[in-house]
Amino acid sequence: MPEQNGGSRKEGATDVPEGVSGGLFGGVFTRGGPVADDAAWLRAMLAVEAGLVRALEHAGLAPAGAGAAVTAAAARAGDFDIAELSLSSALTGNPVPGLARALTRLVDDPAARAAVHQGATSQDIMDSAAMLLARDAIDAALADLSRAAAAAARLADAHRGSLMIGRTLLQQAVPVTFGVVAAGWLAGLDAAIGGLVSVRDTRLAAQFGGAAGTLASLGADGPRVKALFARELSLADPPLPWHTERLRIIDIATAMARVTATLGKVARDVTLLAQTEVGEVCEGTGTSVTDASSSVPRRGGSSAMPNKNNPVAAVAILGCARQVPGLLATLVASAEQEHQRAAGAWHAEWQPLSHLLDLTVSVGAWARDLLENLQVDTARMAANLAAAGGFPLAERVTALLRDALGAPRAHDVVANAAGRAASSGVPLRDVLLALPELDDTGVTAAEIEQALEPSAYLGASDTFITAALNAHHAG
């Protein structure tokens, strides 16, 4: 049988490690395996065609045994030549007519053969197959995302008191804890997971409408066959065909985009915190791509600089996530479809949706790797905070002086003190204690010292961490 994915293996080729798909870019963009490549589409379309014949048999419109016969033929995906189907799609505008003919040839029973594709049109098969692929992608992503969320929860709880500098607009701000940072990651992950679950449970539906959405060729049996067809595919039976109402596709894509956006934020935080000059986190090695004897570079290595330890998982997540907004935009733009069958807009969905499904699964796999193996350097966090010289606590000192000096003047006094400290290299504490304005405020040196203590200015951080963890465990 012809090879379906890139031809035969070269002599001496190494095995692809677990969790990494084939293809030149597969290790980055389809980590965990492609869920919507040519072979997956073929299997899904064959499953839909077989499900239709079983539905027809249950409805009494196909002979007994027809469903089993077609299902057996459809299970022989290796007997279908994807290159041949590609050529046939150039004649018909999609691969389904060629697929239906090829499937029919593989069915031995003439009576069962006549039931193949009965009542359906190409879009019924493609759209229903897309729903099966989306379900597979969601399930695959959820498996990894659930583990990523559990890892984020562990980080949040373990680092409740791990002090670090908060950063706004990429500049040092007030102190935070790494626990509250991880809790923010967790909350985003839980929301993204909830969106995927909602789409899987409420928006995946079979599409079966026939030539123009009326199932006219099946007469009065059409609605019953539609319901049986949906049952065979374990998909929802919608009130009516949705062939030109594309909100289901948009909902799937949006849920996927929410996942990649959420994890893009996590990955960006990691790349910033892992910078050499910051060094507050680094990626663990996770699963090695090759063993120590291999000539392939180690995880995180550079082709030019042997000293490098690049944040590969975070970079891969960002590489996947950056592609998603354009794919989502294409799918939204494709929702404008003419009359009862789109002239090009439906066709424009296939590749963007496929890429989106694969990228989301890949992001989930990388996120699990990233968060389960993330190494947190609390000593470096403390050192960076101490090296800030008290500046992150300027807001608290301003609040301490506000009653005595008034808000505007207190702000200006502390701002001027911070400027002098920065320009002179003198600690902010010393500059503040030497301010003549303090003489009339009644504020003591001990109160200034207390105001400059980072651990006493964390606000509701611990409460927020607990709330995120409670919500996670309740979900």
Please name every residue paired with 175 in a beta bridge, in sequence order, or none if there are none.
165
In the set 224, 341, 380, 402, the catalytic residue is 341
Compute φ and ψ for 338, nearest 5 degrees. Answer: -80, 130
Contacts of 117 (CB under 8 A, 6+ apart): 49, 52, 96, 100, 103, 104, 125
C-alpha 320: how far from chain center: 9
Is the separation of the CB atoms in 96 and 45 below 8 Å?
yes
9 is catalytic: no
Sign, CA torsion 22/23/26/28: positive
DSSP H/E element including 199: helix 178-202
Q: What is the CA radius of gyration of the chain?
A: 30
Is the separation of the CB atoms in 306 and 407 below 8 Å?
no
Count of CB atoms within 10 A of residue 301's CB? 16
341 is catalytic: yes
Is the separation of the CB atoms in 149 and 196 below 8 Å?
no
Is the separation of the CB atoms in 32 and 365 below 8 Å?
yes
Q: Which two tokens stand for residue 50?
A: 């077989």
Q: Specify whether the backbone of 216 is left (phi greater than 0), alpha (psi in -120 to 50) or beta.
A: alpha
In the set 86, 294, 302, 455, the catalytic residue is 302
Spatial separation of the C-alpha atoms in residues 121 and 118, rounded to whole Å: 9
C-alpha 111: how far from chain center: 45
Spatial separation of the C-alpha atoms in residues 144 and 35, rounded to whole Å: 14
Q: Number of C-alpha atoms within 13 angstroms, CB side, residue 393?
A: 27
Where in the sequence numbering do the catalytic residues fall?
302, 341
